[in-house]
């Protein structure tokens, strides 16, 4: 439904003698009805990519197809203006007209569109769009009288009123408070599932990406560094950047001592030898970083009889966070962050045994 091939977009700096490649040979495909997220820090190129698809930026090269129509091609010179693309878009700021009513805000795209519609048809389409986002009955209210969550839904209704084939969302929840953002994540995802509308979502928030998406593409410095399901991205990061950016992670530098087979290697680290999974390009003698998530680390009050990767440590800090204990464990000069069940009775300064399950550890190229 959306296909982007070798997309390049550069911006010139103020002095004019240097250009920055905001998007660098980006290629990806969004299948029909799927929720696809571009995730990355500020300046990684995700919003520029979205704006190129929307027709708000003209790329330097590449090809873009939306709903089977080629909306941009550097080889043929094709460039379809934004208003002719089969898309609906919600901006980070919502871009709501404060002097218009809820009804008129949603009706605006229909009134300025190329296709002229009668007042009866406009009214029907607007009311249908408002019902979709549960704003029915608020047609005559001024847009400024809506709450933050209602304004976000109003922006969605305006994007959906033209019945687009594709929905583009640029950090639409970033202006909401934490509790409302959590609720709107659920509402937005359920709306997308109900409508089966192909959605491209841009965010820097890893929780949004992991909880809402069918597919996540992590971007850094203008390129996609990893693409996969939320579980795959989180559990099996392919680079140090992905491991660091997606959730919290512990990292231990070391060298591969031996390859055990079945996708396992033995790595010599500053806390001892660790058996762990490996990436395809890791071999004996490779300098690697072993990554393990805080929630994967298991603490024992006594040394377990049968367990791999067990190291003696000392509890540095313990913080009760309700859902879990945040425990920092000193292993010599190394400090591991761990998330433990809140029922675990451990105290600062206490000796514990740290288990790093081999299946939860991954050796990444240094």
Per-residue pLDDT, averaged over 270-285, amounts to 86
Which residues, 6+ apart, have CB-to-CB distance to 91 below 8 Å? 155, 170, 172
Dihedrals φ, ψ of 336, to 5°? -100, 135
Which residues, 6+ apart, have CB-to-CB distance to 58 below 8 Å? 52, 72, 79
pLDDT in tens, 191-203: 899 999 999 999 9
Which residues, 6+ apart, have CB-to-CB distance to 227 below 8 Å? 28, 215, 216, 217, 218
- Percentage of residues in the chain having pLDDT higher than 90: 63
Q: Is the pLDDT of residue 92 over 90?
A: no
Q: Is the pLDDT of residue 366 over 90?
A: no
The pLDDT score that the predictor gives to residue 114 is 66
- Do 101 and 90 contact (CB within 8 A), yes or no? no
In the chain the domains, ranked by start, together with CATH numbers, are 2-240 (3.40.50.300), 248-365 (2.40.50.100)
pLDDT in tens, 146-158: 888 888 889 999 9
């Amino acid at each position: 439904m959306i296909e982007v091939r070798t997309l390049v977009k550069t911006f010139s700096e103020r002095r004019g003698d240097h250009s920055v490649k905001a998007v660098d040979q980006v290629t990806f495909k969004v299948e029909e009805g799927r929720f696809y997220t571009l995730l990355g820090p500020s300046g990684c190129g995700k919003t520029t990519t979205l704006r190129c698809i929307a027709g708000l930026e003209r790329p330097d090269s590449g090809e873009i197809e939306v709903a089977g129509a080629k909306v941009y091609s550097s080889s043929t010179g094709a460039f379809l203006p934004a208003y002719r693309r089969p898309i609906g878009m919600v901006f980070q700021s919502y871009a709501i007209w404060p002097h218009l009513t809820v009804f008129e805000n949603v009706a605006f795209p229909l009134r300025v569109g190329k296709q002229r519609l009668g007042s009866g048809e406009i009214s029907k389409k607007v009311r249908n769009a408002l019902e979709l986002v549960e704003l029915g009955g608020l047609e005559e209210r001024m847009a400024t009288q809506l709450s933050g969550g209602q304004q976000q839904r109003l922006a969605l209704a305006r994007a959906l009123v033209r019945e687009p084939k594709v929905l583009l969302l640029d950090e639409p929840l970033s202006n909401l408070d934490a509790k409302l953002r959590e609720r709107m994540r659920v509402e937005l995802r359920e709306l997308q599932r109900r409508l089966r509308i192909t959605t491209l979502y841009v965010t820097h928030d890893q929780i949004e990406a992991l909880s809402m998406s069918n597919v996540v593409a992590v971007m850094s410095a203008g390129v996609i560094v990893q693409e996969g399901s939320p579980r795959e991205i989180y559990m099996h990061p392919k680079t140090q950047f992905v491991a660091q950016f997606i959730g919290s992670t512990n990292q231990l530098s070391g060298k591969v001592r031996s390859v055990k087979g079945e996708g396992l290697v033995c790595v010599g680290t500053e806390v001892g030898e660790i058996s762990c999974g490996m990436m395809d390009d890791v071999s004996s003698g490779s300098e690697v970083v072993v990554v393990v998530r805080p929630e994967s680390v298991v603490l024992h009050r006594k040394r377990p009889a049968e367990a791999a990767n067990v190291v003696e440590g000392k509890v540095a800090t313990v913080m009760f966070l309700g859902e879990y204990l945040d425990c920092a464990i000193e292993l010599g000069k190394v400090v591991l962050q761990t998330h433990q069940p809140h029922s675990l009775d451990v105290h600062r300064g206490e000796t514990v045994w740290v288990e790093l399950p081999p299946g939860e550890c991954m050796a990444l190229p240094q």
